[in-house]
Structure 1
Amino acid sequence: MDAKECFKWWRLGMCVIELYDQHAFRGTKCVITGNCPSLDRCSITEVRSCKVIRGVWKLWKGRDSGDDYLLKEGEYPNLKALSDGKSTASAPAPVPDPAWSLECLPFTIQLYEKVDFESPTFETTVDCPSLNSCGINEVRSCKVLSGVWDLYEGPDYAKPSYRLQKGEYPNPEAWGNGNTAPALSVKRMTSYKIQLYEKEDFEERMHETTVDHRSLDDCGINEVRSCKVLSGVWDLYEGRDYAEPSYQLKEGEYPNPEAWCASDPTAPALSVKRVTE
């Protein structure tokens, strides 16, 4: 996969990692965009350096080892750099062995019981309807490493809730709406649905979708002049192939381009994409 192809996957919001079988990004290179339980079918047999282009990745040491490296976006030129990344293994000091398999974590969040990211902390990649088994009593700060997450003030996803994209939130005020209360449950945003209308005020023709569209060629409509975001967060682009300018829309109804604050209130959207982080 060349740089152009890698950029295409990045634009589509996919996890992307470059693997090298030698230190300092030398030797054979392999670009991965999904889970890889074994490198046997790839052009390399082990990982000694890598570049995380997008997403959060877990790399396992050895074929039968339970130890792993947890890597955020960045460059890791050698095994020491890999081991300096936070490991989720129980071993207190990870051994700098090469990696043999890897997994993309599209949803990762670090939850802190106190403000300003002070311990105790709990990291999760799945929904938590309560914090009873998480080792913390409440969430007063957090770091969204990948994906989009909803934080709820009550257990069992009881509202009010706050939707957080990738970033750091040092206190409840940082996640919006003048909030000061801690969160007691968290949930991944995995549902996406939008209704796209060719005319303003939700007049036909309409196309409903749950996936990205770099163009509207196969949607039965030529352009988007109104829409209803039923679930998830979406970006609408004035150009094809996600060409800017773009506008980010939360759940709600948008009867015309002016409603989504288009720079030109007469300009329709020509491509749409889910916000996944």
Structure 2
Amino acid sequence: MRRGVSHCLDNLCVLTLFSSSSCRSIAFVPRVVKPSGPASLHLGPPRLTLASSPFTSPDRLQKNVTSTQIVLYEGKNFTGRKLELSTNCDNFQERGLVNRVNSARVESGAFVCFDHPDFKGQQYVLERGEYPEFQRWSALNDHMGSCRPIRMHGEHYRLEMFEDDNFSGQHVELNQDCPLLQAKGLTKTCIKSLKVYGDGAWVLYEEPNYRGRMYVVERGSFGSHTEWQADNPKIQSVRRVANYF
């Protein structure tokens, strides 16, 4: 009966054959097969394979690596000069686009855009989809100077809102959209602090039914309304950031 055992040292592989009366070792160098075809052939980046684990499902891991992509246009109906972004951009003019945007396409993810550079001024939320004119993102004009992706980690939403600073006073906890916070038992129209738990981000609105000035809050604690860049604490409706994954 003959058996074989192999082992490798550096680039040399040794196969040892055993029999009932003798043994013999054979050394060989493995052959590397190179792809055929033109030298200029581009094979592209390697694919990322996500292994499953007992704690995180492959689907959830795939969501965590979702990329973000937005295309901004100076003209209506996706015309004129354009700017493609997948990360933060604090000044459109420095990227060759004047601070005026009349249409946009969000190809993946979601973005919060600002009508001034350096992530300041009125906020607008653009989720995945097409916006042929600026009125589609609830803007009063075409001013836009900066934007950044909204940070999302999954689709588990939980929000706790307080009527007073530093997480005090009457509060309400939500995991669904709410067109009128007073219907949840709050007595004031002001939210002065809040905590965002879970994976998802939220949009706060000054008026009921998702109208008026808006603010984006992501996972974390906000001890005062100034921490979400609001001039006043008036908040009367909230919704989850949707169409992200």
TM-score (ref. length: structure 2): 0.42
Between Structure 1 and Structure 2, whose CA radius of gyration is higher? Answer: 2
Specify which structure has the bigger relative contact order, considering alpha-carbon pairs within 8 angstroms and separated by 6 or more residues: 2
TM-score (ref. length: structure 1): 0.38
